[in-house]
Structure 1
Amino acid sequence: MTKHLKLYIDGEWIDSANPKLQDVINPATQEVIAKASQATKEETEKAIRTAKRTFENGVWSEQTPSARAEILLQIADKIEVNLNELAELEVMNNGKTKREAEADVEDAVNTFRYYAGLLHNQMDEAFEADKDLQTVIVKEPMGVAGLIVPWNFPILMSVWKIAPALAAGNSIILKPAEITPVTAVRLYELMEQTDLPKGAAQLLLGTGSVAGQTLAEGNDVNIISFTGSTKVGQQIMQAASENLKKVSLELGGKSPNIILGDADIDLAVDYALFGIFMGAGQVCTSGSRLLVQESIYEEFIEKYIEKAKAIRVGPGNDTKSEMGAIVSEKHMESILNYIQIGVEEGAHLALGGNRMESDGLEKGFFIEPTVFTDVTSDMRIVREEIFGPVIVIQKFKDEKDAIQIANDTDYGLAGAVFTKDQAKAIRIIKKIRAGITWVNTYHLSSVQSPWGGYKTSGIGRSLGKYGLDEYQETKQINISMNPERLDWFEGNK
């Protein structure tokens, strides 16, 4: 029987008054795996009222950091015990491989544990501002946090927002992507089994145009944290401006991966493949622009295409699969359209470019690993985020040329450089206008490190202590150590 996914408001699972249910699809088979409720504007407003009431009554916000940390650890334990189930659900709903899904769930466990530990280490700051004035700097929760997450990392992106927002003492409202709500529902079922107070966490399923927009506009929502496309991020920022709520945005990318002539070519090929084809390219930080120095251009491309041809594409639950499905038919068509645009623009289609419809893949949304060479910076496939298994490879002359091409983009999320010259690597990486960068590696990062971008790739940072700061207000408290009359106004003596 197909599971019916409900909303979670004030500690209760409820059906939406909206009779329309969203079919939730397995992108590897097009099988309907669940039907999800669609929150109305009124239900979203109820979730906001509940979160505000819970925050103001202090049942969560006024708990000690140690008490909050203990509950975060309870949630981490619940996720860890159910790791296999959560990974299987992620594969089924998102289409990624089991290996990728397992890594995501493990990272989710680590994220909750990290923020539990961080709470034990966060200290107020105190200093003597004057001989008679003691100043204390404290961090306080913001209030109601609206958390809107994308479809490419459903459980991990949820946890990247939930863990720091709860750690800070906020009441939260999570809205997962409309097409990938399954693991969010299961996560909330597990959170319900902990000591997290009723009303501290709400879950809204449904559309961005209703639930997401209502959260962004809501006067009683104190912060909106959104991960997704730049276009939607701009819409959220505009809606949030009505009451000047804080906005934290992690948006699109078109990240450069620079391969210098002195690089270890085999190493660079390995990470360049991982940089774009992990997650079928549906990763915000994907190294979707390969910049290769002209002295090794032909050799690099030959090795790269040979390796890309061998990537095993298939259902995520098949342990032999190395690249899974595209998340939806709509997104698959968008990627295929970009491939056609690239051909029409005159880029050389060196590999792939087609939907895969043989060997049992005809029912799913699969696209071949696709390689364009001989591209130029003015092409749409170079400038716009495709968000799929499509790499564009561009030639450069020297270090100065590489930096100019790398920064010739509206985005600034990530970037990398491969070279055996460490001094050159640091010199180049410091000039790349991006928030997440690598030298001789790609995609590897940790929960302790801030995550976010420059330019149209977003505002604010997730993860690390910076991620906790995103969900806190900073207050100064000034204490007179020698209270005396000021007598500023002589006439009042």
Structure 2
Amino acid sequence: MKDMTNELPDGRLFVGGVWEEGHGAPITSVFSHDGSENMTFNGASREDGERAIARAKAAQADPAWRDMLPHERAKILHRIADGIEANIPRISRLQSRDTGKTLTETAALAASAVGTFRYFAAVLETSDDALTTRRGGFLTASVHEPIGVVGAITPWNSPIASDAQKLAPALAAGNAVVLKPSSWSPLVALELARIVDEAGLPKGLLSVLPGAGREIGNLIVEHADIGRIAFTGGTDTGRRLGEQAGRKLMPISLELGGKSPTIVFEDADQDLAVAGILFGIFSSSGQSCIAGSRLFVQRSIYDVFVAKLVEATKALRVGDPFADGTQVAPLINHEHREAVEAYIEGARGEGGEILCGGKRLSGAEYDKGAYLEPTIIAGLPNDAKTCREEIFGPVLVVLPFDTEEDVIAQGNDNEYGLACGIWTRDFPRAWRVGGAIRAGTVWINTYKQFSISTPFGGDGASGIGREKGREGLRVWQRQKGIYCDLTGQPHPWAGVTR
């Protein structure tokens, strides 16, 4: 079902709870399967952003929201979750048109957003402040309060799931949120705004402003009334935003890129490993920060295992994201495909051997789309550019290793530290290697599995801070200590007597 004329947003932005025409540069959403245009509308201007932040500040300060009891805020989060769940078919179709992802994946992303809002509603109702241990004649407490107005900047590769991962805890914490989705995939965030609005969130507490990063992104980071930022995206942009936040002394979390190693030991269940590796790198067409893009295979099984992996890769079904059984869909757009192709050509120049893929698909179904064959490259050293930089496409490099110490050294020889996959039947070894690899997430005998209850984030060039989990609520709040005298007596230092 690709004709969605009646399901597209109307082109207005959600500016501080009001649906308004944007005043920024036009944004065009394209269906990357065939290059057809979904719609064009005006993005947000800096003035739109200023207006959204002013409305957010007023709404967050309103006692109706500021003083709302946690269980009442939780009811709103549950209504948002219900609204998303009721609209999963529409959301998944819209997101497939906007990103080129398969319907199976976009439905899973929408379902993930449902779970995220419900989880943080539950966390909100069960997160208690605390009386701290008394150290004198006073009662002491640790309490948490909203930050105020906060910003969220989300990527094009996983709309609604990434949006929910930031919006749900930020709203649960009592904040107002200004969300900037990517201009490459803006439609689902606007649909989410409609659902949130219909769920009864007080006006002004949410804005959704797709627009140019140099305008809206910079405004969100620099504005004096924004008290915290969460960003998911590229490492170079993350570094720049971190510098801007540092000048404001504003907390920021950055979930950035990755060049994640997957490791196959000689005792691994090879069928299990092949399936997990294929999913880890070629699902989402490789457009995933946690993609397992560096594969290390123990030398004793290298030839046999890689041959099996290549054969399985060639059998993957590449095609229309709306077709049943499609496993690998087109890339987000033709521009991004060209960037990925440049890495493949660079690998050839570095002496890499293309074991499979490496070129565009051709034929009536593919000629107009942003399709690229799933690609496996061998013969490169770990310090080659192709092995060091994030490609963000369906490209896997394979390298041999000899010992546990060897693969730990190679795995860590990279600026990124986001994820790692380990395939072995030897659990103590998996535990040792998982502990030694620098990564925010380690999967053992599986890959690319997520739980909203488990913290997620990266180290090094993969970012700072964590999202998800119970502590994912607290990062959106300020902690305050309160002291209350119990003696009723003047402080002796003052020399005051009754």
Q: Please confirm whether the aligned pair reaches a TM-score higher than 0.5, indicating the same fold.
A: yes
Give 1:166 deviation, angstroms: 0.5
Query: In structure 2, what is the Cα distance between the partners aligned to 1:4 and 1:78?
Result: 19
Match of 2:17 in 1: 11
CA contact (8 A) 1:36 1:205 kept: no
Match of 2:328 in 1: 323
Q: Aligned with 1:39: secondary structure?
A: coil
Q: Aligned with 1:232: secondary structure?
A: helix
Query: In structure 1, what is the Cα distance between the partners aligned to 2:56 and 2:242?
Result: 21
Where in structure 2 are the equivalents of 1:73-92 lying within 5 Å?
73-92=78-97
Where in structure 2 are the equivalents of 1:61-460 lying within 5 Å?
61-460=66-465
1:70-91 per-residue CA deviation (whole Å, 9 max, x = no partner) reads 0000000011111100001111
Query: In structure 1, what is the Cα distance between the partners aligned to 2:18 and 2:276?
Result: 46
Query: In structure 2, what is the Cα distance between the partners aligned to 1:35 and 1:59?
Result: 37
Match of 1:480 in 2: 485
1:347-382 per-residue CA deviation (whole Å, 9 max, x = no partner) reads 111111111122411111010000001221111110
CA contact (8 A) 2:16 2:53 kept: no
Give the % identical residues: 38
The one-letter code sitting in structure 2 at the alignment partner of 1:178 is S
The one-letter code sitting in structure 1 at the alignment partner of 2:18 is E
TM, length-normalised to structure 2? 0.96
Q: Aligned with 2:421: secondary structure?
A: strand
1:162-202 per-residue CA deviation (whole Å, 9 max, x = no partner) reads 11110100000111000101111111111111121011111
The one-letter code sitting in structure 2 at the alignment partner of 1:32 is E
Q: For structure 2, which runs of at least 5 residues remain unmatched after alignment?
A: none
CA contact (8 A) 1:280 1:324 kept: yes
Moved more, 279-288 or 27-36: 27-36
Query: In structure 1, what is the Cα distance between the partners aligned to 2:356 and 2:198?
Result: 49
Q: For structure 1, which runs of at least 5 residues remain unmatched after alignment?
A: none
Match of 1:23 in 2: 28
Give 1:135 deviation, angstroms: 1.2
Match of 1:37 in 2: 42
Give 1:319 deviation, angstroms: 1.1
The root-mean-square deviation of aligned C-alpha atoms, in Å, is 1.5
Q: Aligned with 2:396: secondary structure?
A: strand
CA contact (8 A) 1:4 1:34 kept: no
TM, length-normalised to structure 1? 0.97
CA contact (8 A) 1:259 1:419 kept: yes
Q: Aligned with 1:326: secondary structure?
A: coil
Alignment CA distance shift 1:122-1:345 (3 Å): same
Moved more, 40-49 or 254-263: 40-49
CA contact (8 A) 1:328 1:365 kept: yes
Partner of residue 57 from structure 1, selected from 57, 62, 77: 62
Give 1:456 deviation, angstroms: 1.2
Alignment CA distance shift 1:3-1:48 (3 Å): closer
- Which aligned runs of 4 or more in structure 1 are off by greater than 4 angstroms? 1-4, 489-493
CA contact (8 A) 1:164 1:467 kept: yes
